[in-house]
Amino acid sequence: MQILVSFCVLSVIIHILLKYTTLKR
């Protein structure tokens, strides 16, 4: 269960990073 939570958090972080990079570009 903890693995699922950490995976979700990682996914969100990656999504935010992608959005941030696209905005910076």
Q: What percent of the chain has pLDDT over 90?
A: 80
Question: Any idea which residue has 């990079």 for tokens?
Answer: 21
Q: Above 80 in pLDDT, residue 25?
A: no
Nearest-5° angle of CA 10, CA 6, CA 13?
A: 20
Dist CA 2 CA 19 (whole Å): 26
Dist CA 3 CA 12 (whole Å): 14
Q: What is the mean pLDDT of the chain?
A: 94
- What does the longest C-alpha to C-alpha distance in the chain come to? 37
Q: How many helices (H) and strands (E) does the chain have?
A: 1, 0
- The predicted pLDDT at position 1 comes to 82
